[in-house]
Amino acid sequence: MAVSLQFSRLSLRADGFITTSESRPGAFSSRRGRRTPSSVRCSGGAGDESGSLAVDSEFDSKVFRHNLTRSKNYNRRGFGHKEETLELMSQEYTSDIIKTLKENGNEYTWGNVNVKLAEAYGFCWGVERAVQIAYEARKQFPEEKIWLTNEIIHNPTVNKRLEDMQVENIPIEEGEKQFEVVNKGDVVILPAFGASVDEMLTLSDKNVQIVDTTCPWVSKVWTTVEKHKKGEYTSIIHGKYSHEETVATASFAGKYIIVKNMSEVGLGV
């Protein structure tokens, strides 16, 4: 999960280099006058694309998100099929090994191997919620075309199950998502990691049904970086540069820098 910190000043070393928004994964395009931030990327070496400092324009992402979440084509609470879909998920994703462990005080021995069940295991709350709402969407819209902007979560079993339910990922060609395949009346699911402001704008313009499964803890970080932007702070986003959650979080920020580890932190101070 991307984590945001705030700093009032940020100086960059001389080994930073300038890049345009078009060259960054998940960057904003200039279509329809949308914001086109410039950025300075901190490089740890050739081919490193992990850190970026972006300068925002006057676009108010908070107002846009506020209006979007109140539109008739937006849903983030499910469709009233929670118990039914949770039961289906329990049948599909409950392991016999876990069942045996739970029935035996969270500890069991198979042959000469003693296995203990961890206190925390399985889907976290945000992931379970995302998958459950995606299941609800398929039940609510049995005939409609349903798209995902990214994998709902990084779990091959879950992703294959959604594929079997004819929930398709928006195709990508040459690093760009092909949103032109999405038509008015289609359903588009935003994954647990969230989606960038630019993607939300595109979908809003297309007048599709948006099913938002973004983890509330992720959107809480978006609120934080929006506060940083108003206070003219620089947000420090800890995460992988091109990960969906990092891209989404950065799209709500004003000035920001992305770092993956402590060695990259040293490049930006």
Query: How many beta carbons lie within 10 A of that of residue 70, not counting itself?
Result: 8
Query: Which domains does the chain carry?
Result: 3-59+221-268 (no CATH), 67-79+125-217 (3.40.50.11270), 84-116 (no CATH)
pLDDT at 265: 80
User: What whole-number distance in Å separates Cα of residue 60 and Cα of residue 217?
Assistant: 21
pLDDT at 213: 98
Cβ partners under 8 Å of residue 22, min gap 6? 29
The pTM assigned to this predicted structure is 0.76
∠ CA 188-192-193 to the nearest 5 degrees? 100
pLDDT at 94: 84
pLDDT at 121: 85
Using CA atoms, how far residue 33 sits from 123, 202, 222, 226, in Å, is 40, 12, 22, 20
Positions annotated as catalytic residues are 245
pLDDT at 36: 42
Cβ partners under 8 Å of residue 213, min gap 6? 76, 129, 130, 131, 133, 134, 152, 189, 190, 191, 192
pLDDT in tens, the chain (269 residues): 555 555 444 433 333 322 333 334 444 333 444 444 433 333 344 444 444 444 445 678 889 999 999 999 999 999 999 999 999 998 898 889 999 999 999 999 999 999 999 988 889 999 999 999 999 999 999 999 999 999 999 999 999 999 999 999 999 999 899 999 999 999 999 999 999 999 999 999 999 999 999 999 999 999 999 999 989 899 999 999 899 999 999 999 999 999 998 888 876 55
pLDDT at 61: 85
Query: How many beta carbons lie within 10 A of that of residue 45, not counting itself?
Result: 7
pLDDT at 27: 40
